[in-house]
Amino acid sequence: MHSFDAYPDSFGVVDVVCVLGGGIVPRKMRGGEVRRYQSTAYSHRDRNELLGGGKARIIAAAHLLTHYFSYAVAVTVGNQIVNGRAVEAHVLAEELVRYGVSAGRIIREDKSANTLQTMDEIVVLIERYGWKDVLMITNEYHVPRAKLSFNQPSKEVAPGVGIAWRRVSSLVNVSFVSAESVLLRRSPEHYTPLIERAKASLAYQDRVAAEERGVEKLMFGGYVPLAQQKEEASTQYVHSP
């Protein structure tokens, strides 16, 4: 298995491009009515109240799918729930379509609520469809934790995923590419100041610090996804005297 951060000029055949969810936010009309939901920009916060940037993932993935890997399948990921319904993967799919990717090429993975669950579900899809070369798109700050999450030896979320992971891990090439690296090649004049401004913000630095803490806990034990941490904290508060 290969796991690296590079630009697709160096890739050969890619079977599937997975767009990891970075959270969605409502897009409202002037009267306050929600028009639709959309991926987070750098100025938005995700469900864990950290800097988002999911829109960069969508633009980068659409660019690769339309200009480099026109034969590849796309997978959109995320089960952020709105009004009792999992919609994130479907919002991401609609955005890819608006950027020119055919809806028939897109698989919506709307079960996973965090990165560890995402990697479990992707392993299941890899085995189901027999993919050999997998490209995962996420933000630069998320790449280290996403890589480590894929390589976790213990899979506990999806039924049978531990067995599936052992079967596919030695057979599949998995590449992690930051959305920012793609965007900077796509249009450096447009995206360089945007990305530099985002990276200079306190919100971005807080995000990087949170990611580094997550990586350390994944490596040495004690990792709990933020969404689960918040749920546990809320439950503890409710049951406190």
- Map residue 176 onto helix, strand or coil: strand
Mean pLDDT score, 189-214:
95
Predicted confidence (pLDDT) per residue in 82-113, tens digit: 777 768 999 999 999 999 999 999 999 998 88
Domains of the chain: 8-239 (3.40.50.620)
Pairing of strands 85-86, 81-82: antiparallel
- Map residue 27 onto helix, strand or coil: strand
**11 confidence band (pLDDT: 50, 70, 90):** low
Residue 233: its pLDDT value, please?
33
**Residues 150, 112: Cα–Cα separation, whole Å:** 13
Average pLDDT, the chain: 82
**Residues 228, 116: Cα–Cα separation, whole Å:** 12
**Residues 235, 240: Cα–Cα separation, whole Å:** 9
Predicted confidence (pLDDT) per residue in 128-174, tens digit: 999 999 999 999 999 999 998 887 755 555 555 666 677 777 788 88
Predicted confidence (pLDDT) per residue in 176-194, tens digit: 999 999 999 999 999 999 9
Mean pLDDT score, 182-207:
95
Q: What is the dihedral of CA 231, 232, 238, 240, to 10 degrees?
A: -160
